[in-house]
């Protein structure tokens, strides 16, 4: 049996979980992404692995029917959530109905894993974006058995994971709800761990408290925090080397460059994301605290949203306004992100010499360098330095 090509495989694991002969195992590639490998001696050519593979045939998608700006009213939850805290609002409703929720949490070694929660306490570690490819493990059969029992299930995660799960389930259950986000790509777990090694030289992993979207000091935005011997460090998205590699799409899974899930036809019932640029369109929110964009794509999604309205501040919005600043492409045109020409070399250097060497060679372009210099400058000199930089830039432009 031939599985999907590595360039389009998202690593959802549907093939492995569906195989009746356990002939498929997931093997980590050099970039740390699990990829299926088939043992031809065990394979009975039943073809199930191909049937459930979303990279061979995508599950049915649905057009967006409504768009909102949204924020959870619970301020404590909002503080710990990446943007508007929608994930918690929907999870609460599922628990009220006696259901289970699946989301992504770190394990003790900072592997991003899809896991199950049966109450509000258990969803706490799922809050917050982990900007790393996450492993759905063998959750699909478990989800199927809950659905067969009649328990409501909410799956939140990457759209490509959900696509694998939907293909694995092979039917649309009334008690199955899905909530995915606009996804800018999922970075390499190997690269992330190489980066973490630069931090754990000074602070042990179990005390690192790495947070890719800490709102505590500056509110919503991308502020990456972690412990250092001198206290809590706070990087900006350009300043933080790992986030920068994600932002510039250097370390994403290969399938992300031609991702078919970033369009206005969606695989999930509900879509959430950061509502970047919300200030231009909605001044009724406390924007600094984080506002989500929310898309409703199915009747089930609409029904779930109606039942959590009392937990949310909600304003109808235009999908075009959301798309302006987000990973959501409108219209028919398909978009392929170019794979950075140095991507393979980046991983090569990472393997041979570690994160710092790869960062120095490939992630220090001029604009990031400027930001790094500015961030290292004491606040009282920053204004002068900014002025000097702009004079130098202007002179450069004028020849
Ligand atoms: C890899 C990645 C890329 C993203 N790219 C974009 C983007 O380009 N534009 C945008 O608007 N939003 C993006 N998001 C989503 C955004 O960061 C927020 O997660 C979203 O706005 C929801 O915020 P919230 O406050 O409602 O949820 P929170 O309460 O913060 O909950 C986070 C939710 O995301 C899930 N989650 C976190 N990390 C992962 C992971 N690695 N894999 C699977 N599920 C995970 C959790 O299970 C939970 O359901 C991305 C998220 C991730 C993880």
**pLDDT at position 397, please?**
55
Enter the pTM of the model.
0.94
Q: Is 270 in the pocket of ligand 1 (CB under 6 A)?
A: no
Nearest atom, ligand 1, residue 292 CA: 21
Tell me whether residue 221 is in a domain: no
- Three-state secondary structure of the chain: CCCCCCCCCCCCCHHHHHCCCCCEEEEECCCCCEEEEECCCCCCCCCHHHHCCCCCCCCCCEECCEEEEEEECCHHHHHHCCCCCHHHHHHHHHHHCCCEEEEEEECCCCCEEEEEECCHHHHHHHCCCCCCCCECCCHHHHHHHHHHHCCCEEEEECHHHHHHHHHHHCCCCCCEEEEEECCCCCECHHHHHHHHHHHHCCCCHHHCCCECCCCCCCCCCCEEEEEECCEEEEEECCCCHHHHHHHCCCCECHHHHHCCCCECEECCCEEEEECCCHHHCCCCCCHHHCCEEEEECCHHHHHHHHHHHHHEEEEECCHHHHHHCCCCECCCCCCCCCCCCCHHHHHHHHHHHCHHHHHHHHCCCHHHHHHHHHHHCCHHHHHHHHHHHHHHHHHHHCC
- Domain enclosing residue 257, as ranges: 62-186+252-324
Q: How many domains does the chain have?
A: 2
In ligand 1, the atom with minimum distance to the C-alpha of 91 is: 49
The reply to whether 337 falls in a domain is: no
In this structure, the answer to whether residues 121 and 259 fall within a common structural domain is: yes
User: Confidence class of residue 396 from pLDDT cuts 50, 70 and 90?
Assistant: low
How many angstroms separate the alpha carbon of residue 82 from the centre of ligand 1?
Answer: 7
Please list, in sequence order, all residues whose beta carbon lies within 8 angstroms of the beta carbon of residue 68, skipping any fewer than 6 positions away. Answer: 293, 294, 295, 296, 314, 315, 316, 317
CA of 394 to the centre of ligand 1 (A): 39
User: Closest Cα to residue 198, out of 345, 360, 342?
Assistant: 360
> In angstroms, what is the span from residue 126 Cα to ligand 1's centroid?
10
What mean pLDDT is reported for the chain? 94
Q: Do 274 and 144 fall within a single domain?
A: yes
* CA 90 to centroid of ligand 1, rounded, Å: 14
pLDDT at 388: 78
- Same domain for 178 and 74: yes
For residues 281 and 373, membership in a common domain is answered with: no
* Ligand 1 centroid – CA 149 distance (Å): 29
The verdict on residue 349 lying in a domain is no
Q: Does one domain contain both 285 and 144?
A: yes
The residue nearest atom 44 of ligand 1, judged by CA position, is 157
User: Do 276 and 375 reside in the same domain of the chain?
Assistant: no
Does the beta carbon of 222 lie inside 6 Å of ligand 1? Answer: no
Q: How far apart are CA 79 and CA 319, in angstroms?
A: 26
Inside any domain, residue 194: no
Classify residue 102: in a domain, yes or no: yes
Q: Bigger pLDDT: 173 or 386?
A: 173
Per-residue pLDDT reduced to its tens digit, 297-348? 999 999 999 999 999 999 999 999 999 988 888 887 777 899 999 999 999 9
Q: Is the CB of 329 under 6 A from ligand 1?
A: no
Mutate to test the pocket of ligand 1, among 181, 237, 317 (most ligand atoms within 8 A of CB): 181
Q: Is residue 242 part of a domain?
A: no
Are 315 and 384 members of one domain? no
Cα-to-centroid distance, 392 and ligand 1 (Å): 39
Pocket perturbation via mutation, ligand 1, pick of 33, 73, 82 by most ligand atoms within 8 A of CB: 82
pLDDT, position 394: 72
Percentage of the residues of the chain whose pLDDT score is greater than 90: 85
Q: Is the pLDDT of residue 210 over 90?
A: yes
Q: Which of 60-64, 172-176, 369-373 has the lowest mean pLDDT?
A: 369-373
Quick one: 275 and 393 in the same domain?
Answer: no
257 and 317 in a single domain? The answer is yes
Query: Which of 295, 324, 353 corresponds to the end of one domain?
Result: 324
Q: In angstroms, what is the span from residue 129 Cα to ligand 1's centroid?
A: 4
Q: Are residues 180 and 257 both part of a single domain? A: yes
| Ligand 1 site, residue 215, Cβ cutoff 6 A | no
For residue 85 and ligand 1, the question of a CB distance below 6 A is answered with yes
Domain boundary among 298, 324, 350: 324
Tens digit of each residue's pLDDT (9 = 90 or more) over 73-97: 999 999 999 999 999 999 999 999 9
Flag whether 193 is in a domain.
Answer: no
- φ/ψ of 190, rounded to 5, equals -65, -45
C-alpha of residue 87 to centroid of ligand 1, in Å: 9
Given CA atoms 280, 286, 290, 291 in this order, what sign does their dihedral have?
negative
Among 293, 324, 355, which residue terminates a domain? 324
236 assigned to some structural domain: no
Question: Is the domain of 381 the same as that of 262?
Answer: no
Tell me: do 314 and 370 sit in the same domain: no
Q: How far is the CA of 3 from the centre of ligand 1 (A)?
A: 29
């Amino acid at each position: 049996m031939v599985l999907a090509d590595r360039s389009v495989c998202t690593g959802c694991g549907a093939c492995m979980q569906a195989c009746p002969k356990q002939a498929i195992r997931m093997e980590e590639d050099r970039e740390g992404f699990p990829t299926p490998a088939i043992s031809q001696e065990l394979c009975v050519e039943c073809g199930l692995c191909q049937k459930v593979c979303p990279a061979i045939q995508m599950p049915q998608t649905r057009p967006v029917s409504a768009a909102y700006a949204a924020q959870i009213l619970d301020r404590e939850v909002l503080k710990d959530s990446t943007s508007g805290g929608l994930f918690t609002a929907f999870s609460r409703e599922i628990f009220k109905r006696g259901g289970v929720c699946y989301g992504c949490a770190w394990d003790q070694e900072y592997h991003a894993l899809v896991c199950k929660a049966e109450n509000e306490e258990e969803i706490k570690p799922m809050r917050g974006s982990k900007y790393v490819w996450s492993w759905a493990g063998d959750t699909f059969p478990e989800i199927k058995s809950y659905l067969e029992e009649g328990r409501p299930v909410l799956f939140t995660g990457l759209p490509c994971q959900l696509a694998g799960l939907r293909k694995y389930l092979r039917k649309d259950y009334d008690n199955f709800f899905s909530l995915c986000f606009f996804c800018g790509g999922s970075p390499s777990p190997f690269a992330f761990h190489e980066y973490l090694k630069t931090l754990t030289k000074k602070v042990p992993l179990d005390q690192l408290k790495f947070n890719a979207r800490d709102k505590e000091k500056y509110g919503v935005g991308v502020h990456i925090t972690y412990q250092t011997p001198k206290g809590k460090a706070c990087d900006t998205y350009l300043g933080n080397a790992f986030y920068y590699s994600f932002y510039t799409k250097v370390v994403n899974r290969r399938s992300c460059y031609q991702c078919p899930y970033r369009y206005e036809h969606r695989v999930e019932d509900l879509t959430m994301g950061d509502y970047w640029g919300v200030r231009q369109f909605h001044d009724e929110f406390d924007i600094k605290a984080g506002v989500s964009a929310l898309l409703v794509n199915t009747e089930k999604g609409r029904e779930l949203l109606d039942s959590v309205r009392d937990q949310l501040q909600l304003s109808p919005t235009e999908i075009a306004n959301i798309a302006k600043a987000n990973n959501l492409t409108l219209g028919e045109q398909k978009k392929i992100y170019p794979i950075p020409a140095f991507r393979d070399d980046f991983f090569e250097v990472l393997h041979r010499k570690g994160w710092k060497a790869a960062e120095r060679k490939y992630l220090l372009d001029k604009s990031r360098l400027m930001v790094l210099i500015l961030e290292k400058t004491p606040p009282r000199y920053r204004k002068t330095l900014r002025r000097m930089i702009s004079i130098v830039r202007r002179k450069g432009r004028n020849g």
